[in-house]
Structure 1
Amino acid sequence: MASAIGLVLRKPHLLFRKADPKDNTNPEDRKNLRPHLCTFDELPKWYQDNPHIRTGYRPVSNSYHSCIHSLTYLHNETMNVYTHLIPAITLAFALPTLQIKISSTYPDAPWTDRFILTLTPLTALLTLSLSTTYHTLMNHSAFISESCLLLDYVGILSLILSSFISGIYVGFYDSPFHQRLYWGMICSLIGISCLLVLHPRLQGPRFRPHRTTAFVLTALSGLAPIIHGMWLYGWSDTVRRRGANWWFAEGLWYGLGAVFFSSRIPERRGVVGKWDLLGSSHQIFHICVVLGASAHCWGVWCAWRAQVGGWDKA
């Protein structure tokens, strides 16, 4: 993973290397830099992941230029790319607007509050960008695909960590002890998840269920501070002023996404090839991730306004 990043930093011109004509077999395709799309059975082993997606695969390119050019035509990763690329671009423009909103409406807000309000949107931008990068470059080569996939995992774990930090901050806004307690808990769990998800011996389709389980269990540990908050502050206050209703919405979207991700429905149960380009489980999973992250960001904002008494300024 580090080697891939170092290679790009040392030789950025490789990002714009033209595709090798050998990558394409059709002369017209070579002219347009649009390769003939492959079937699942035509892919090398390292590229095979979901046997229920039968067609629409980009051939192995060994070219960043070819990978980036694939953004201009339809294949079975197009929706996976754009379901995260468009929200990432939106966030990039929204973050400065958020800072302007805080400065104009709450000029005396401490730097810690500003940091927390920015943390999850900023991490979501990172996560969505890394996901977009992986799905764009996954057909480059085995090494680049694996490296970008590990970065994608890092993005997911970063989003989980930042969501915990911000949610706990506003949920226990008046209790630094409980903030530190649950921050310590999530940092420990994220450390364990990193080992399970990023260890070189635990890569590949064989360990896919293990990685999914690690992500889900780490996310589910968020129920502990929510339940504790309800015990300390009561149901009404936890929901009305501490964001619990939005955490439940967030969990619902993430949970729904995990179901689609692990079950590979609808392509697993539907007509073969029907969902190859549009509507596959991973595309639905991407949309659920965006909705879950959006629910969390809005929940942090609402809970913070309630804590500082700023509902009238919203």
Structure 2
Amino acid sequence: MDLSSSTVVENTNDFRATSIPTTINGLRFYHELDEWQQDNHFIRSGYVKGTNSYKSSFNSLFYIHNETGNIYSHLLPSLVIAGSLVYYLKFQLPLYESHLQVWEWINFLQFGFAATFCLAMSSIFHCIKSHSHSVARFGNQLDYFGIIILITCSLISIMVFAYHREPKFKYGFSCLFLVLGSICTFLTLDPKFSTSVYRPIRSTMFILFGLSGVVPIVSAVNTYGLEVTKRKAGLNWLIWEGVLYISGAVLYAMRVPERFSHVEQDQASLLNNPMVGKFDIWGHSHQIFHVLVVIAAFCHWKGLVQCYHTMHQDMLA
């Protein structure tokens, strides 16, 4: 880098400091981070530099930085889901069905647990990732494992209710999803998998794993017909769920919208560009992905409840 380029960087940093001072709570710019913390260069500021302290990392819950949205967008919903699951099973479902069999309870509980676990692991990771390289890597693996658990349990939960009279399909597809989930888990254990270079591969893997749920849906359409499948599998809700998951994963992989607020220009252009750093704290791709995941989980719950009621209607028919 020549002298003029260095001057531009220094002046640009001075400009950005007027928006988010690095002195408050130790927030830093991207270029000030250690290499292991550098993941998304489109987000220029608002970073918590490596703390090497769990206490300091957890203290970041109480001030605003560029992971605040990622933490709370999954921490709060995880608590809501856990409480809502207990309330729904204890007070709501008995209003419709006089008796819940044990396996029906377990099916609802396994999805509720998976959603709670996934969101909790995600929020914990985003909170402790500032600790150190080793802790961030371990937290990242927990985050991926939570995603795999959610996808696996989501797919199996639909199979249990939709194919309750077809044990061959129910157990066959459930085993398939367990195998795919195990393969994904094995891949995430590779340290390289969590690096920014593998971001598109990660997104593609999770998308393909989720899309494997299309196979039993196609089988159900061939067996029962489209209209019956819509009722038995809660198909409309599942379509919305898939659209939300895929949209979030694509935005995350492409780093939209923060890539549109990142410019490689001279100082004058930066000063006159109101978009620079606009998504550093709020509204960047990872936060959008988190919100869409929560909405998608709600859509899955609605589809699962529809599957359950349709199953009981079929039993009474």
The alignment's TM-score, normalised by the length of structure 2, stands at: 0.84
* Residue in structure 2 matching 1:194, options 185, 193, 198: 185
How far apart, in 2, do the equivalents of 1:105 and 1:34 lie?
Answer: 54
Aligned to 2:290: 286
TM-fit CA distance, 1:305: 0.8
TM-fit CA distance, 1:142: 0.8
Residue pair 1:35, 1:59 contacting (<8 A) in 2 also: no
Residue pair 1:80, 1:283 contacting (<8 A) in 2 also: yes
Equivalent residue runs for 1:1-314 within 5 Å: 35-100=25-90, 101-103=92-94, 105-270=96-261, 271-309=275-313
Unpaired stretches in structure 1, ≥5 consecutive residues: 1-28
How far apart, in 2, do the equivalents of 1:103 and 1:144 lie?
Answer: 44
Amino acid at match of 1:249: W
Question: Which deviates the most, 120-129 or 165-174?
Answer: 165-174
Amino acid at match of 2:292: C
Unpaired stretches in structure 2, ≥5 consecutive residues: 1-20, 262-274
Amino acid at match of 1:108: H
Q: Judging changes above 3 Å, is the alpha-carbon distance between structure 1 residues 256 and 201 closer, same or farther for their aligned structure 2 residues?
A: closer
How far apart, in 2, do the equivalents of 1:217 and 1:273 lie?
Answer: 33
TM-fit CA distance, 1:209: 2.1
TM-fit CA distance, 1:105: 4.2
Structure number with greater Rg is 2
Deviations 1:163-189 (A, max 9, x none): 011011122122111001111211121
Residue pair 1:254, 1:289 contacting (<8 A) in 2 also: yes
How far apart, in 1, do the equivalents of 2:260 and 2:238 lie?
Answer: 31
TM-fit CA distance, 1:145: 0.8
RMSD: 1.8
How far apart, in 1, do the equivalents of 2:192 and 2:251 lie?
Answer: 26
Q: Which runs of 4+ in 1 moved over 4 A?
A: none
TM-fit CA distance, 1:148: 0.6
Deviations 1:245-286 (A, max 9, x none): 111111011011111111101100133311001110000000
Aligned length: 279
Residue pair 1:34, 1:70 contacting (<8 A) in 2 also: no
TM-fit CA distance, 1:99: 2.2
TM-fit CA distance, 1:210: 2.0
Tell me, what secondary structure is at the counterpart of 1:268?
Answer: helix
Residue pair 1:196, 1:211 contacting (<8 A) in 2 also: no
How far apart, in 1, do the equivalents of 2:71 and 2:133 lie?
Answer: 19
Residue pair 1:196, 1:214 contacting (<8 A) in 2 also: no
Percentage of matched positions with identical amino acids: 34
Deviations 1:58-98 (A, max 9, x none): 12111111111111111100100111011011112112212
The alignment's TM-score, normalised by the length of structure 1, stands at: 0.85
How far apart, in 2, do the equivalents of 1:148 and 1:185 lie?
Answer: 27
Residue pair 1:52, 1:272 contacting (<8 A) in 2 also: no
